[in-house]
Structure 1
Amino acid sequence: MKLRERMLSHLAGLAPQAEALLVAVSGGPDSVALLRLLHQGPYRLEVAHFDHALRSESAEDAAFVRALCRELGLPCHVERAEVARIADERGWNLEDAARRLRYSFLTRVAKRVGAEAIVTGHTLDDQAETVLMQLLRGAAFLAGMPPRQGWVVRPLLAVRRSELLDYLQQLSQPHRQDESNLDTKRTRAWLRLELLPRLAERYPNLSERLSQLATWQRDQRTLLDELAAPLLDEAGIAIEPLRRAPPALQRHLLQLLLKRAGVPPDSAHLEALRKALAQGSPTRLSLPKGRLARVGYGRVEVLGPTGERLAPTPAVELPPEVDPEQAQVFGPLVYRTRLPGDRIRLAAGSRKLSDLLIDCKIPREERNRLRVLAAGAEVLWVEGVATDARVVTGLKAEDEDERFMRLALEQARLAADAGEVPIGVVVVCSGEVVGVGHNTTERDHDPTGHAELHAIRLAAGRLGDWRLTGCTLYVTLEPCAMCFGAMLQAHLPRLVYGAANYREGVLGSVTDLRRAPWKREVTVRGGVLAREAGELLSAFFAARR
């Protein structure tokens, strides 16, 4: 079968109802040969040329295409865009920008002129180069270019470039040559001019085999698409069905999820997601283009760039920090991202999420990505930051202050065992202990070796900031003047103590320093587990008499 008959037969299969075509012509040999093959055929033709303004000769390419169209009596549409400048302004890579702008132009022209398909001159050699490039880049599928993709049809994918060059030579038809296609510093040119010819010396039918591989891969992907469809929803993928799926279907589902989010699905990201899936613990993975993948709490999902909100999804699985029985009291639970005005109730009182995230040093670009567990307007949990005191796992009979005071009592017992006055401290930020301490005055021969100072220093070191603005200090005995002063200097907003200190206490026992006009105010709660703290002190001093 002659070249024109083969091409027209293939085109009829790709666009069986089409009568009007828009032919994309760059001026190079492949697209010029395509236009000549279509000319005087059964279709109404119009031609489109996009000038990328990347080469000094690009205006000459456009002039050549216009002249060819005049010679053939065909309408010609030309548009020029400074692709390099636009790519820089929008943060796109150059190749991506060129493709986006070119196909945007072709689609606009096709709609305007009533074309039913956009025809391009990609050949079997282009297909082989594309598949090999996908292989070298670690693509999830070596599917190459599909013969039809939306409006775009590629009727020459089974034709070698050499056939087109012979055809043009028979017609004595000139064409343009893009010198950048000869620059082997560019990957595609290196593949075309160096690697593929060397491989073809040993494997003469390599291009045909790569093209066939692409066809088979597309067929396999079609099957996987059908299997994946019931498992992928708007919010992502449910974890349990994904875990039960065979590895090939797992990879395909994750690939579809990434593609839907605009992330190129390379093998490294797919395997990282599968590894996170197998680990079972909640995981966050950074992805290209500012995206973030979350694996955990019943779902795998991809969040967009900073500021893009997560659509509310039912909370099928709750975080381990949240007690299910207590949480269900609040009504239907959903995962979402934070909203303006969100607050969470902690043991220290209600806090604005915006303030809490600042205090906990959460980077600005991460704040809108954090997953929030909410029931209506009630925020019960913030990923990696805090849990509502009313739903904390294991806190039914005692409140959160009692829980942390018991940890402070453990520190006090360590002091007693070491022969020190049994005073213990823990510093807590967003439900996490960030500093502990007990008295070391005797051991260090240091009158400032108080539990509060040790814990404050440790907390500041762990948080990387001497301002402990989001923290609560728990101490078993009402503080002295020195320690209360240290709390003011550390910007601690809240203090919880156990037993009253009738010898040196400055929060009401001897005096009340809170009444002074300090720049900062410390909220104080006293008497938490006071009996236990007092008994520990009494036993210590009784043993020393």
Structure 2
Amino acid sequence: MLESILRDQCQLDPTRPVLAGISGGPDSLCLLDVLRAAGYPVIVAHFNHKLRPEADLESASVSGRARTLGLPFVTDSADVRAYAGANSLSLEEAARTLRYRFLFAAARREGAQAVAVGHTADDQVETVLMHFLRGAGLAGLKGMETLTLLPVFDPEIPIIRPLLTLWRADTEDWCRAHGLEPHFDATNADQTYFRNRLRHTLIPELEKYNPRFKESLLRTASALQGDFAVLQDVLDKAWTEAVSGTGAGWVAFDASKLAQLSTGLRRNLIRRAGEMLRPDSRDFGFDALERAAGFVEKPGGKQVDFVNGLYLFAESGKIYLAEYEADLPSAQFPQVSVQFPVNSKQCDLGNGWALTIEHQPLDTVHCPLYTDNWSAWLDADLTGDRLTVRPRRAGDRFTPLGMESGSVKLSDFFVNVKLPRRARAGWPLICAGEEIAWAPGFRIAHRFRVTEKTKRVLHLEIKRLP
């Protein structure tokens, strides 16, 4: 059975090496023996966590075992306690991060096709129960998979867990039957650790209600893995339809398409986007996902915090999930960097935008006035021949249509009309001399409006070029 798991579920190539994470315990020694018996080239890898006095002895034992079998051996160590303290992690999480970082780096360096670890059915039960107690969704309740990628460690080399159908007692029996002498980690009995409390206290208590509790939970995890695979197919289709763009530190959704989806699909799409942006985050939490899904439905504010330095905001028909420090795209906006005169019928405004200019006698104007923010009809005698286009300047003030006296800071005006911050510095302003005559996309200046005294009209329009 294990050979078929290695071949069919782990999808291993018998001609390429497998890097096996070997601690020296019964599970990992069983794994090593199984891989060798199946004929796979094995690289033995051991990470010394330096957490116990016997850690160096165990490392030497694994090294000796590899040498006896004639197998290549790679090893490393780190101060897990210091790393945990510096990164505000539990010892368990810090040890996992450093161990996997070493294993995948070694696999990449040695040309291994996969990283193999010795997780058993007991580990699966404990993992699923931990996720359940934390309030995880389907992604957590399905538990560990036999073959999967961990992009935060390596985007291409998979991790395989061929022993997930064996119980811990089975690996111990295997070691006895094959004359293997494993080490037993004394900290596995230390109930300071959450997993050990589940193993030694909670699970035995649950077995009083169902003597086959572990088997039942294992079957549930297996069933949920099938459900999760179906959901991924649905998500793939929804992702293709709803995502309008991605970049370094951001994902953009089509707001209308995202809003049409069920709350559950929205949650899962946002989770997937979050996993892309924060691949080292193992759980985003139901509350954060529900808050994000609600924002999509009714984006009442400018933005909403998500988790881990990510936030959502709505803009120009899109919903962005982004890092606060992300360099968000501005290609959808007209942008200029210098001042230049308007001396032709069409001016380039960058990013595929253009300004067109046309002089007309008043009696030929048949277009509605002031209804299209991307078109402007100005009094040509007031603008004269001194029109220029420029970006904003420090101290700019503007008198928008309807304000008969006084002016406002242009910076405040941009905030009030919700022009995205990143578009403000290069936003094109149409000026008559030193005075702003039109803020395209928003308002013309009150003084340059067409009135009953107007004799000639200047028609300006900004549009995307085909």
Question: Could you say which TM-score interval applies, normalised by the shorter chain?
Answer: 0.5 to 0.7
Return closer, same or farther for 1:177/1:343 CA change in 2, 3 Å cut-off: farther
- Structure 2 counterpart SS, 1:374: helix
- Structure 1 counterpart SS, 2:165: coil
Instruction: Give CA deviations for 1:10-35 in whole Å, capped at 9, x if unaligned.
Output: 01112242422111111222111111
Compute the TM-score of the two structures, normalised by the length of structure 2.
Answer: 0.67
Aligned twin of 1:125: 122
CA contact (8 A) 1:344 1:379 kept: no
- Structure 1 counterpart SS, 2:326: coil
**What's the CA shift for 1:371?**
4.2
With 276-285 and 121-130 compared, the bigger mean Cα shift is at: 276-285
Aligned-residue CA RMSD in angstroms?
A: 3.5
Aligned twin of 2:216: 206
Q: Relative to total residues, which structure has the larger helix share, 1 or 2?
A: 1
Aligned twin of 2:191: 184
What is the alpha-carbon distance in structure 2 between the residues aligned to residue 29 and residue 299 of structure 1? 53
Aligned twin of 1:86: 83
Counterparts of residues 201-350 of structure 1 (less than 5 Å): 201-203=208-210, 204=212, 205-230=215-240, 231-232=242-243, 233-234=245-246, 235-262=251-278, 263=281, 264-295=283-314, 297-305=316-324, 307-312=325-330, 314=332, 325-326=372-373, 345-347=396-398
Aligned twin of 2:162: 155
Q: Considering Cα pairs closer than 8 Å and 6+ residues apart, tell me whether 1 or 2 has the greater RCO.
A: 2
CA contact (8 A) 2:116 2:161 kept: yes
What is the alpha-carbon distance in structure 2 between the residues aligned to residue 98 and residue 324 of structure 1? 63
What is the alpha-carbon distance in structure 1 between the residues aligned to residue 177 and residue 228 of structure 2? 35
**What's the CA shift for 1:80?**
0.7
What is the alpha-carbon distance in structure 1 between the residues aligned to residue 262 and residue 322 of structure 2? 25
* Gap regions ≥5 residues in structure 1: 1-5, 316-322, 330-340, 358-369, 381-387, 400-545
What is the alpha-carbon distance in structure 2 between the residues aligned to residue 324 and residue 344 of structure 1? 29
CA contact (8 A) 1:33 1:168 kept: yes
**What's the CA shift for 1:254?**
1.2
Greater C-alpha radius of gyration:
1
Aligned twin of 2:6: 11
Return closer, same or farther for 1:304/1:42 CA change in 2, 3 Å cut-off: same
CA contact (8 A) 2:438 2:445 kept: no
CA contact (8 A) 1:344 1:378 kept: no
**What's the CA shift for 1:94?**
4.5
Percent identity of equivalent pairs = 27
**Count of matched residue pairs:** 357
Residue identity opposite 2:56 in structure 1: A
Instruction: Give CA deviations for 1:6-65 in whole Å, capped at 9, x if unaligned.
Output: 111101112242422111111222111111222343111110001122333322221221
Q: Relative to total residues, which structure has the larger strand share, 1 or 2?
A: 2
Residue identity opposite 2:145 in structure 1: P
What is the alpha-carbon distance in structure 1 between the residues aligned to residue 393 and residue 182 of structure 2? 64
Aligned twin of 1:319: none
What is the alpha-carbon distance in structure 2 between the residues aligned to residue 52 and residue 10 of structure 1? 30
CA contact (8 A) 2:48 2:56 kept: yes
Residue identity opposite 2:147 in structure 1: R
Return closer, same or farther for 1:83/1:342 CA change in 2, 3 Å cut-off: farther
Aligned twin of 1:377: 426
Aligned twin of 1:146: 145
Aligned twin of 1:26: 23
Return closer, same or farther for 1:79/1:300 CA change in 2, 3 Å cut-off: same
Residue 171 (str. 1) matches residue 178 (str. 2): yes
Residue identity opposite 2:166 in structure 1: V
Aligned twin of 2:32: 35
CA contact (8 A) 1:326 1:390 kept: no
Return closer, same or farther for 1:61/1:312 CA change in 2, 3 Å cut-off: farther
What is the alpha-carbon distance in structure 1 between the residues aligned to residue 3 and residue 173 of structure 2? 18
Aligned twin of 1:77: 74
CA contact (8 A) 2:146 2:164 kept: yes
Residue identity opposite 1:109 in structure 2: A
What is the alpha-carbon distance in structure 1 between the residues aligned to residue 130 and residue 394 of structure 2? 50
* Gap regions ≥5 residues in structure 2: 150-157, 334-369, 377-391, 399-406, 430-435, 448-466
Compute the TM-score of the two structures, normalised by the length of structure 1.
Answer: 0.58
**What's the CA shift for 1:324?**
8.6
